[in-house]
Structures are given as C-alpha cells and as structure tokens.
Amino acid sequence: MELKDVLKTCDHTLLRVDASSGEIMELCDQAVRYGCASVCIPPCHVAGAKRYLSGRMKVCTVIGFPNGYCTTAVKAYEAADAVRNGADEIDMVVNLSMVKDGCWEDVKNDIMAVRNACRGKVLKVIIECCLLTEEEKLMLCDIVSECGAEYIKTSTGFSKGGATHDDVRLMRARCPSSVKVKAAGGISTLEDAEEFLSEGADRLGTSRIVKIAMALEQDGDA
C-alpha cells in the first residue's frame, strides 16, 4: 500500500489538553499538505480551524471526551454546538458506566441523542475496547449499528490501551458494511497502520503517519 493511500484514511489528530491555536493551525496545514481525511481537534478549536481551513479539509471533534460519563443532555448540546461551529465529523464516547451496569437501552438513548444532534454529519462512536469484555464489545457493535452511526471506533487513546488487531477484526466481523471501523490509539508505525487497514479499518486516528511522511520527505525518500 502506498503511503499516500494510508494518509487518506488518517484523521490527523491533536487532542492534548494544552494544545495551542498555533499548533492546531500547524496540524491543519499538515493535514492539507499530506491529504488526510480530517483533522481531529478539541471542541474549543473547531470554529477557528474551520475559518482557517476554508473548506480545504474536514474538521472532526470529540464529544464527551475522554471519559464519556457526562450526561446525555450535555453530550447532545456539545454535539449541536460543535456542528454550529463548523464540525463535519463527531467522535463521541459512550457512557461506560451504563455499559458496565448493562443498561443497554440507556446506552442506545445516549448515542441516539448525539446522532439526532448532528444529523447530516459523520458520527463515530468510541467504545473504549480496552475497558470492555468480549460480550460488551459485541453488544456495543450491535447498538452502534442500530443507532445509525457511520463509524465505530476502538479507543480514545487516553485510557489504558489503544487499538488492537483483535478488536478491529471483531468490529469488522460484527458490524454491517454500512458501519465503518476507526482504529485509534497507539498506531505508531506505517506497518501497523497498513495491517489495521487490511483487517477492515476504514479510518485511523493518529498523528504519527503524517510525521512518518514528513521524515521521509526530509530524507528525500517520499
């Protein structure tokens, strides 16, 4: 797989809590230059990035991030506010307390509230696989699919583990073709990225693939 094809799947990501507007603009420039799928940035930077990009790149942001335990009403408001500010894609975190309690209808309602708040935009649902049992992963695949999300996503990258190959294969096998898979968290090499894509991931949440491209360019090998 060519590097440019891998880059097309990348949500070029900067979610560090102290990220400055200057760093976000630099991220935007890199995403445009290397042909990424989107920039994935904190909600407070969405409006500025949208103005700066002027349609050159999709803007993705995160909702209920990284813990997912704010109330459903707060998540829905966050999503609606992000859309008003120009977000094209929304990555929300499920309520893992509800998951652990087996309150599946509440989990569904939580996702649906965000789905309804961002109709017309791409919704990715982060299920934080590293904290789940196999049964919980399967149940969430079904619920996310029922809610009409465009993507199911492995991880926030802020918990105790990131994307694994087993989880990507499970999600791809369980979800219908209408639901795509995003692998995120700990994707550090081109080989790893290619393997996730070959296993059924459609998007990658990472900043490291762009850094690899930049390094190859500096070495004259790109």
Among this protein's residues, is 182 annotated catalytic? yes
Q: Encoding tokens for residue 195?
A: 């393997």
Per-residue pLDDT at 219? 85
C-alpha pair distances (Å), 50 with each of 36, 40, 61, 122, 203? 15, 12, 11, 16, 21
Helix (H) or strand (E) holding 38: strand 38-41
pLDDT for the residue 221: 53
> 137 an active-site residue?
no
Q: Please report the beta strands in 85-138, taking only residues with DSSP state E, as ranges in sequence order.
A: 89-93, 122-126
Instruction: Note down pLDDT in tens along the chain; length 222 residues.
Output: 999 999 999 999 999 999 999 999 999 999 999 999 999 999 999 999 999 999 999 999 999 999 999 999 999 999 999 999 999 999 999 999 999 999 999 999 999 999 999 999 999 999 999 999 999 999 999 999 999 999 999 999 999 999 999 999 999 999 999 999 999 999 999 999 999 999 999 999 999 999 999 999 988 754
- pLDDT, position 38: 98
CB 204 within 8 A of CB 182: yes
Residues 147, 131: Cα–Cα separation, whole Å:
21
pLDDT of res. 28 = 98
Tell me the sheet residues that pair with 125. Answer: 92, 152
Q: 91, 110, 167, 192: which one is catalytic? A: 91
In total, the chain counts a number of residues equal to 222
Write the CB contacts of 162 (distance below 8 Å, at least 6 apart in sequence).
Answer: 130, 154, 155, 184, 185, 186, 187
Q: Cα torsion at 18, 154, 121, 141 (round to 10°)?
A: -150
Query: CA nearest 208: which of 197, 191, 220?
Result: 191
Of 75, 108, 153, 180, catalytic: 153
Q: What range does the domain containing 46 cover?
A: 3-219
Structure tokens at 35: 């042909």
Q: Among this protein's residues, is 91 annotated catalytic?
A: yes
Q: Which pLDDT score is estimated for 205?
A: 97
Domain count for the chain, please give it. Answer: 1
Catalytic option among 50, 58, 137, 182: 182
Measured CA to CA, the distance from residue 195 to residue 189 in angstroms comes to 10
Q: How far apart are CA 68 and CA 22, in angstroms?
A: 28
CATH number of the domain enclosing 162? 3.20.20.70
Is the full-model pTM beyond 0.75?
yes
